[in-house]
Amino acid sequence: MPRIFSPKSLIVAVLFLTLAAGTGHAALTQWQAQVASQLNAMSTALAAYGFVLSDADCVQLRRKSGFERQVTLAAGVDYAFAIACDHDCSRATLNVYDENGHAVGESFGNSPIVVVTPRWTGPFRLTANLAGCWEVTCEVGVALFRR
C-alpha cells in the first residue's frame, strides 16, 4: 500500500497528487479527490489549533474491512489522526492502541479526528475500519498531524 512521508508545509492535496503520480496515475481519481478534499478541510481546522501535517496514507479498502499501521509517537507531543472516506462510504472508524494493546484514542460517532498525547515514546498501532461502504471498495485516507 502506498505511503507518503512529506515535509510539514505540504497540504493534503499535494500529498495525494504526489501519491497519484507515484503510482503511475496522471491525476487523482474522483474518489481520491473526495478523500483529499475532506482531509484538506480537517487539515485547515487542525491548523487553527497548531497542528501540522506529518504523514498521510490513501488506501482502497473492501467493504467492512480495515487496515492498520505501526507508528512511533514521542512522549508529550500532541498528535491528531484524521480519517476520511469517499462518498460511497457512510462511516469509517479510527483507533489508536499502545504497545500493550490498550486503546489510547478512538473516534466516536461521526467524529473523524482522534487526538492523543502519549506519556511515553514508543510504538503505537493505528487501526482504521470501514464500517459502511456501498460499493465493493471505497477509498480511505488517514492523515497524521502533530503539534
User: Region 9-18: what's the mean pLDDT?
Assistant: 43
- At 66, the pLDDT band (50, 70, 90 cuts) reads confident
Residues 42, 70, 51, CA angle at the centre, nearest 5°?
30
Q: Could you count the other beta carbons within 10 Å of the beta carbon of residue 44?
A: 11
User: Region 103-114: what's the mean pLDDT?
Assistant: 84
79 is in which domain, residue-wise? 4-146
Residue 3 has pLDDT above 60, yes or no: no
pLDDT averaged over every residue in the chain: 82
pTM above 0.85, yes or no: no
Our count of domains for the chain comes to 1
Cα–chain center distance at 57: 6
User: Region 85-90: what's the mean pLDDT?
Assistant: 88
What is the CATH classification number for the domain harbouring 120?
Answer: 2.60.120.380
